[in-house]
Amino acid sequence: MSFDLIIKNGTLVTASSTYRADIGIKGGKISAIAETLEGENIIDAKGKLVTPGAIDTHVHLEMPIGKYTSTDDFYTGTKAAAFGGTTTIIDFVETRENQTFVEALEMRKSLAKKRSIIDFGLHMTIMPHDIKKLDQVQAAVEAGCRSFKIYMAYGNRLNDGEILLAFEAIGEAGGLPIVHAENWDAITTLIDKNLNEGNRGPEWHTRSRPAVLEAEAVGRVIDLATYAGVPVHIFHISCPEAIERVKNARIQGHFVTAETCPQYLCLTDEVFEAEGVEGALPICSPPIRGIIDQMELWEYLSSESFHTISSDHCPFTVGEKAEGLDAFNKVPGGVPSIEMRFPAIYSRGVRDGFLTVNQWVDLCCTTPAWLFGLENKGDIQVGKDADLVVFDPEKTVVLSETSLHEEAGWTPYKNMSITGWPEVTISRGEVIVKEGKCYGEKGRGQFI
């Protein structure tokens, strides 16, 4: 048997096992896994881990939000992702009022297709003006979009009745609802109260969005999903109170899954103490909380209460963030994490003893692929896409806006030292990043 590429001498890490083997790649697929394979084109992975390409099921690239657009486009964002070992992302589609789901999907798909260097999928956002289009949910699923984002916060939020209608339509079409859960009514009341009392600094962002109000919304949306008889995936859980609701619902037999993100696992609310705009940069929602919340989230990860770790990558420039300096609620929310996610979870999770290497791969690669139906991704098996990472477990990288490839011009993880970093990233058999250089061509990414 001949191969296009062989990865030799590496230690393979999957969600369930760790073992020494060579991988043979042909036609973009994994075509053999054996103790020894021979061929011409070889990557030597001696002393390295070989993992599935990481999957980031929650990113916002060139996303319009009010007067802003998130900083990374589908080229710069997917390039940064590839440097961090991510070979598949799932981004979002929003419809205009007079547009069908499928029309909006096709538009966003062709935009992403032009620039993306890695494979991508899209979640459909269901906004208030989409409630009258729920009979189109089935068509969206058939067009390749099977997950539907629902906001309980912001201008795009649905009320509980609308959520119920959306859940029923998604359930009938065999789709998966995913939810941004926060109690918007109570939070906006607290924001107004704090601003009126002259509390305008970034630390009041977290204080206006207390953990219990995130947990309340998580509990409520699980109840609505239970009533509608649909599974539900909860995005970006930031606190123990919220994951505890998921855990309890699962004990009762409900199909609920949960995501958390690097910003809740690597940062604490001390970030808001920095002077001037520095303190406003890390504003995102749900908010970055205290050190005790962070440590407890790691414990919940360790005991497998979470299912995915995604980035929620949604950066804005320093100038855009600075426009909200006189009031925390005017700062566009979101942080860049698309590049550091996979290695950071290895460094903070595996090296610091919270996770096994297999749990790391499961949370960042395998369960995300399974949950969103990416059948050819997320695992090292013959027949799967050859999306692979040769990962150097000893390489130390100090994060900064210069060591990372994101476009925001800043990172909330500045000076964070990470040990463990991708050396080679392979997408469908093609080396797209090797030793700090990107070889992936703009537009090579496919819609999946």
Binding site for Zn ion (CB under 5 A): 312
Amino acid (1-letter code) at residue 391 = F
The residue (of 246 and 355) whose beta carbon lies closer to Zn ion is 246
Question: Minimum CB separation from Zn ion for residue 312, in Å?
Answer: 4
The residue (of 8 and 209) whose beta carbon lies closer to Zn ion is 209
The residue (of 312 and 430) whose beta carbon lies closer to Zn ion is 312
Strands 86-93 and 68-69: unpaired
- DSSP assigned state of 170: H
The residue (of 163 and 397) whose beta carbon lies closer to Zn ion is 163
User: Cα Rg for the chain, rounded, in angstroms?
Assistant: 21
Question: Minimum CB separation from Zn ion for residue 60, in Å?
Answer: 6
Q: Which residues contact 322 (CB under 8 A, 6 or more apart)?
A: 277, 280
Q: Scanning the structure block, which residue is given the tokens 């994994």?
A: 30
Which class for 214: exposed (0-12), middle (13-18), buried (19 or more C-beta within 10 A)? buried
Contact 45, 9 (CB under 8 A): yes
Q: Which residues contact 97 (CB under 8 A, 6 or more apart)?
A: 129
Cα–Cα distance, 334 to 145 (Å, whole number): 24
> For residue 120, which phi and psi values (nearest 5 degrees)?
-145, 150
Question: Minimum CB separation from Zn ion for residue 90, in Å?
Answer: 11
The residue (of 312 and 387) whose beta carbon lies closer to Zn ion is 312
Tokens of 174: 């065999």
The residue (of 152 and 357) whose beta carbon lies closer to Zn ion is 152
> For residue 339, which phi and psi values (nearest 5 degrees)?
-90, -40
The residue sitting closest to Zn ion, measured at its beta carbon, is 312
Cα–Cα distance, 433 to 422 (Å, whole number): 9
The residue (of 90 and 357) whose beta carbon lies closer to Zn ion is 90
- Interior angle at CA 158, CA 98 and CA 328, nearest 5: 105
Question: Minimum CB separation from Zn ion for residue 233, in Å?
Answer: 12
Question: Minimum CB separation from Zn ion for residue 242, in Å?
Answer: 15
> For residue 353, which phi and psi values (nearest 5 degrees)?
90, 10
Question: Minimum CB separation from Zn ion for residue 314, in Å?
Answer: 6
Amino acid (1-letter code) at residue 153 = A
Q: Which residues contact 217 (CB under 8 A, 6 or more apart)?
A: 152, 153, 181, 182, 183, 184
Burial 42-64 (b: 16+ CB within 10 A, else e): ebebeebbbbbbbbbbbbbbbbe
Cα–Cα distance, 223 to 245 (Å, whole number): 10
Tokens of 391: 């990962």
Question: Minimum CB separation from Zn ion for residue 57, in Å?
Answer: 10
Question: Minimum CB separation from Zn ion for residue 313, in Å?
Answer: 8
The residue (of 293 and 312) whose beta carbon lies closer to Zn ion is 312
Cα–Cα distance, 137 to 104 (Å, whole number): 12
Q: Between helices 184-196 and 211-228, what is the axis angle to 10°?
A: 160
Question: Minimum CB separation from Zn ion for residue 3, in Å?
Answer: 39
Question: Minimum CB separation from Zn ion for residue 154, in Å?
Answer: 10
Strands 176-180 and 232-234: parallel
Question: Minimum CB separation from Zn ion for residue 205, in Å?
Answer: 16
